Amino acid sequence: MEKKIITISREFGSGGRSIGRMVAEKLGYKFYDQELILHVAKESGLAKEVVAEYEEYATHKNSFLYAIAMSNGGIYGGMSFANQVQIAQAKVINNLAEQGNCVIVGRGADYLLRERKDCLNVFIHADMKFRADRIVRLYGETNKTPEERLRDKDAKRKVYYKSFTMRDWGVCQNYHVSLDSSVIGVEHCVDIIVKIVEDSRE
Amino acid sequence: MEKKIITISREFGSGGRSIGRMVAEKLGYKFYDQELILHVAKESGLAKEVVAEYEEYATHKNSFLYAIAMSNGGIYGGMSFANQVQIAQAKVINNLAEQGNCVIVGRGADYLLRERKDCLNVFIHADMKFRADRIVRLYGETNKTPEERLRDKDAKRKVYYKSFTMRDWGVCQNYHVSLDSSVIGVEHCVDIIVKIVEDSRE
């Protein structure tokens, strides 16, 4: 069946977001990333920045965000902050999928859309050196080493994905394609994904 | 760097072995699978059938195979049966890799050759329905349902891989490419792998 929706999950620094954008350009699909957060924020009635922070850093019962959640009515008053965000997010992602012809990066979209036959789920990862070089080039240096930043981000994405989906992050069986961009190359990854979508139209 | 060795790990019934054979044919590479067991058997001085059985059904301290191991001198006398097989197997696989231009299916070759830059590690998986239909078509029916046979094989491969490598089986980061043959199609999987190898020669 023709793949009209592509979800991209990725390790930080692997180039997964860039790959998603290039795939969208080549196929003439829409591309959703930060923009999606804005949609979610509007839907849930929560401030954009808070939702963004939540999505990056997941949910801990003793966190500041959780405290806000418990004192926050929102439009789903009475529910936890995490649940409010997740319900709003699911609604937005399902709406985007219904419209079709789009690439969605992150946000657990692979899980939310797992029953759709017109959805291709992609995972992009890369070795530590490739990712470390890339984040320093793109985002500059900080007082932490790039390796520390990567380990930190990986751990947070794992927790976020698990709390959201109850599945382990980065397991082959949850994706239709998984590619190591440090070995295959960012542009060849784009070509492979585009080719799979084109072949799905046969 | 040019990929001269391709390892294929796969779920039973996913078509991974067929994909490996077709990739080898298209690239003019040698193909090693059952043949490899024969090599291992010769190296270790153990009977072919026993090695084959070990490799399929892994190692349990209370198993019949373990009992044989403990009473068996072999050429590595004093070591456990599992260690004898693994050392011999590692030797054979490293020798094959040295000769290059080959596809090796299973046997934890991805782990053994993980330091080689000229090695492409591939994982092939597929959904339950695809695999169930495939094993009935290829191997016929038994008194177990195909789903039971698959769950049983999956569990055994997981244990074997873990006992051999100390890593989890089917984790994206352990492979350069992972493909769902039930969604992408067996022949398109072959094309993708061949293309990655050809691109690696640029």
Q: What is the pLDDT of residue B162?
A: 83
What residues of chain A score a pLDDT lower than 50? 59-76
Calculate mean pLDDT across residues B119-143.
Answer: 94
Q: What is the pLDDT of residue A20?
A: 97
Q: Are strands A5-10 and A102-105 parallel, antiparallel or unpaired?
A: parallel
Cα–Cα distance between A93 and A99 in angstroms, integer? 10
Cα–Cα distance between B51 and B37 in angstroms, integer? 7
Cα–Cα distance between A41 and A37 in angstroms, integer? 6
Q: Is the dihedral of CA A68, A74, A77, A79 positive or negative?
A: negative
Segments of chain B assigned E as strands: 5-10, 30-32, 102-105, 119-125, 177-180
Question: Which residue out of A130, A173, A174, A181 would a mutagenesis test of the B interface target, given it has the greatest number of B Cβ atoms within 10 Å?
Answer: A173
Higher pLDDT, B64 or A87: A87
B141: phi then psi, degrees, rounded to nearest 5: -90, 155
Cα–Cα distance between B82 and A133 in angstroms, integer? 41
What are the structural domain ranges in chain B? 5-194
Question: Which residue out of A12, A124, A158, A183 would a mutagenesis test of the B interface target, given it has the greatest number of B Cβ atoms within 10 Å?
Answer: A183
Cα–Cα distance between B67 and B60 in angstroms, integer? 10
Q: Which of B89, B109, B161, B86 is nearest to B5 (CA)?
A: B109
Q: Range with the lowest mean pLDDT among A29-38, B51-60, B108-117?
A: B51-60
Q: Which of A195, A105, A92 is nearest to A157 (CA)?
A: A105
Q: What is the pLDDT of residue B90?
A: 80
* Subunit contact A195:B196, Cβ cutoff 8 A: no
Higher pLDDT, A177 or B67: A177
Helices A16-27 and A186-199: crossing angle, nearest 10°?
40
Calculate mean pLDDT across residues B187-199.
Answer: 97
Out of A125, A172, A195, closest to residue B170 by CB = A172
Q: What is the pLDDT of residue A74?
A: 42
The confidence band for B66, taking pLDDT boundaries of 50, 70 and 90, is very low
Q: What is the pLDDT of residue A54?
A: 61
Contacts with B77 (C-beta within 8 Å, 6 or more apart), sequence order: none
The confidence band for B63, taking pLDDT boundaries of 50, 70 and 90, is very low
| Statement: residue B30 has pLDDT above 50 | yes
Q: Are strands A177-180 and B177-180 parallel, antiparallel or unpaired?
A: antiparallel
Q: Which two tokens stand for residue A18?
A: 């860039």
- Interface residues on B facing A, Cβ-Cβ cutoff 8 A: 11, 120, 123, 125, 170-173, 175-180, 183-185, 188, 191-192, 195-196, 199
Question: Which residue out of A178, A189, A198 would a mutagenesis test of the B interface target, given it has the greatest number of B Cβ atoms within 10 Å?
Answer: A178
Superfamily of domain A5-197 in CATH is P-loop containing nucleotide triphosphate hydrolases (3.40.50.300)
What DSSP letter does each residue of A48-105 carry, written as one string?
HHHHHHHHHH---TTSHHHHHHHT---TTTTS-HHHHHHHHHHHHHHHHHHH-SEEEE
Cα–Cα distance between B103 and B105 in angstroms, integer? 7
Measure Cα distances from B71 to A58, B60, B86, B113 in Å.
53, 15, 17, 31
At residue A141, the 3 state secondary structure works out as: coil
Helices A34-44 and A48-57: crossing angle, nearest 10°?
120
Q: pLDDT (tens digit, 9 = 90+) per residue, B158-174? A: 888 887 788 888 999 99
* Subunit contact B183:A195, Cβ cutoff 8 A: no
Q: Range with the lowest mean pLDDT among A9-18, A193-202, B45-54, B121-130?
A: B45-54
Q: Structure pTM? A: 0.85
Measure Cα distances from A197 to A4, A5, A110, A146 in Å.
8, 9, 16, 34
Q: What is the pLDDT of residue B61?
A: 44
At residue B29, the 3 state secondary structure works out as: coil
Cα–Cα distance between A194 and A171 in angstroms, integer? 22
What was the ipTM of the complex prediction? 0.84
The confidence band for B62, taking pLDDT boundaries of 50, 70 and 90, is very low
Say how many Å lie between the first and final Cα of chain A, rounded. 8
Among chain B residues, CA nearest to A118: B183
| Statement: residue B119 has pLDDT above 70 | yes
Q: Which two tokens stand for residue A81?
A: 């902050």
Q: What is the pLDDT of residue B91?
A: 81
Decide which of 3.40.109.10, 3.40.50.300, 3.40.1260.10, 3.30.70.890 is the CATH code for B5-194: 3.40.50.300
Measure in Å the smallest separation between the Cα of B173 and chain A Cα atoms: 7
